């Protein structure tokens, strides 16, 4: 049976949306982009024409006034997310907002309060990586034993001219990449972070490298490092009482056909587990459309973004006070 696609609009059609979202729509019949917004009207129309999208508009109001649009994908800079999401809620639109939902816990709480008749979701795309879902499954099944430790890192050099270095625009490496690692730890372990000790290197307006150590509610430790200045590297390691799982160069979207997990056993045997690679943005949009239509439970509820932001704020507090910050009682 042919299913009607979810009709969406894109708010903030900058380089991210053009690189990561629009190209994936060619392979997705469950989502239809009705309109996109970019402040320069000529550019908006040019991009819309390039991707065969009916409307290119310059303002948020023009986008939200389109009665065809059911949901909005928010891809504006972080500091605009709160205002944009609340405007979408008032217009009666569902929202999928890029991570982080907003730069502060208070802003996210305001956003959540605005969505009474429609839904707010957070774009934690790494949840759709094959290696991440496989790691969660292996840990949940008991094959790794009880979780002892979790390690993760994410480094991508970002030019100083980029807005991600500006705190007034919601920048900082914690907001941009740290949120991915915090969510990764929470998603795979299925445990909450109880405390965090973080240190930062700040060579610009906002932090560009952060290293953190956390305690999880099940008693395990977790550590992560994120950086805008280190050479590119991503990966994670899940260490259990029976074995450990190692994933390298695995957290950024690539077009390699497979991803590989190394399952290292206690007797030093190493088993390589090939995982079919996919496009996280394609899978995220497919899942979102199905969730909005009630076909599957959502794994992207806004409450997940709120929990991640609480950890980020605790990390900032730890950096400032040079001591451990507690989110919950140990």
Residues 92 and 176 in one domain: no
Distance CA 23, CA 42 (A): 20
Mean per-residue pLDDT of the chain: 94
Residue whose C-alpha is closest to residue 4's, from 35, 32, 23, 41: 32
Q: Are residues 113 and 72 in the same domain?
A: yes
Same domain, yes or no, for 205 and 106?
no
Please, which residues bridge with residue 240 across strands? Answer: 147
Asked if 74 contacts 81 with a C-beta cutoff of 8 angstroms, the reply is yes
What is the token pair recorded at 49?
């024409």
Q: Which two tokens stand for residue 183?
A: 């969510």
Residue 203 lies in a domain: yes
pLDDT of residue 173: 96
CA angle 42, 47, 51 (to 5 degrees): 150
Same domain flag for 81 and 166: no
Per-residue model confidence (pLDDT) at position 255: 65
**What does the block give as tokens for 31?**
């989502």
Whether 287 is in a domain gets the answer no
Looking at the fold, whether 99 and 210 belong to one and the same domain comes out as no
Pair (212, 89) in one structural domain: no
Whether residue 303 lies inside any domain: the answer is no
Residues 258, 222 share a domain: yes
Do residues 131 and 261 touch, judged by C-beta distance below 8 A? Answer: yes
pLDDT tens-digit series, residues 64-115: 999 999 999 999 999 999 999 999 999 999 999 999 999 999 999 999 999 9
pLDDT at 329: 57
CA 160/CA 146 separation, integer angstroms? 42
Last residue of a domain, one of 124, 152, 174: 124
**Cβ 86 vs Cβ 114: under 8 Å:** yes
Same domain? 96 vs 167: no
CATH of the domain at 134: 3.30.360.10
Contact indicator for 96, 123 with CB cutoff of 8 Å: yes
CA atoms within 13 A of residue 293's CA, in its CB half-sphere: 15
Please indicate, yes or no, if residue 248 is contained in any of the structural domains: yes
Residue 203 has a pLDDT of 64
163 and 270 co-located in one domain = yes
User: Domain ends where: 124, 146, 172?
Assistant: 124
Distance of CA 266 to the CA centre of its chain: 33
Residue 25 in any domain: the answer is yes
Below-70 pLDDT ranges, the chain: 1-2, 203-204, 255-258, 329-330
302 lies in a domain? no
CA end-to-end distance (rounded Å), the chain: 52
Does 178 share its domain with 201? Answer: yes
Round to whole Å and give the CA distance between 313 and 197: 12
Would residue 82 count as lying in a domain? yes
**Domain encompassing residue 70:** 6-124
Q: Domain tally for the chain? A: 2
Helix (H, G, I), strand (E, B) or coil at 282: helix
My answer on whether 145 and 273 are in the same domain is yes
Tens digits of residue pLDDT in 244-280: 999 988 888 776 666 789 999 988 899 999 888 788 9
Within a domain: residue 304?
A: no
The CATH number that applies at residue 99 is: 3.40.50.720
Q: What pLDDT shows up at residue 27? A: 80
Which of 270, 134, 309, 144 has its CA nearest to residue 218?
A: 144
């Amino acid at each position: 049976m042919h299913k009607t696609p979810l009709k969406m609009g894109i708010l903030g059609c900058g380089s991210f949306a053009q690189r990561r979202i629009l190209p994936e729509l060619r392979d997705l019949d469950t989502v239809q982009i009705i309109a996109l917004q970019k402040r320069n009207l000529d550019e908006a129309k040019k991009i819309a024409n390039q991707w065969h999208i009916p409307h290119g508009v310059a303002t948020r109001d023009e986008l939200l006034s389109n009665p065809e649009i059911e949901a909005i994908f928010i891809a504006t800079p972080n500091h605009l997310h709160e205002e944009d999401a609340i405007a979408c809620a008032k217009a009666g639109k569902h929202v999928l907002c890029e991570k982080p939902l907003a730069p502060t816990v208070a802003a996210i709480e305001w956003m959540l309060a605005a969505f009474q008749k429609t839904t707010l979701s957070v774009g934690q795309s790494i949840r759709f990586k094959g290696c991440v879902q496989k790691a969660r499954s292996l840990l949940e099944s008991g094959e790794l034993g009880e979780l002892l430790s979790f390690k993760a890192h994410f480094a991508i050099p970002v030019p100083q001219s980029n807005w991600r270095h500006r705190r007034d625009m919601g920048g900082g490496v914690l907001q941009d990449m740290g949120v991915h690692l915090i969510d990764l730890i929470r998603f795979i372990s299925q445990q909450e972070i109880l405390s965090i000790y973080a240190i930062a290197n700040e060579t610009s307006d906002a932090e560009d490298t952060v290293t953190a150590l956390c305690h999880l509610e099940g008693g395990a430790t977790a550590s992560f490092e994120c950086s805008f200045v280190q050479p590119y590297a991503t990966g994670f390691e899940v260490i259990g009482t029976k074995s450990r799982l190692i994933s390298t160069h695995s957290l950024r979207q690539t077009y390699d056909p497979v991803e590989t997990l190394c399952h290292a056993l206690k007797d030093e045997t190493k088993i390589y587990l090939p995982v079919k690679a996919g496009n996280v943005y394609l899978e995220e949009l497919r899942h979102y459309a199905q969730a909005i239509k009630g076909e599957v439970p959502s794994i992207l509820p806004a409450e997940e973004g709120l929990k991640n932001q609480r950890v980020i704020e605790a990390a900032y507090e730890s950096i400032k006070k040079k001591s451990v910050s507690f989110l919950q009682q140990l």
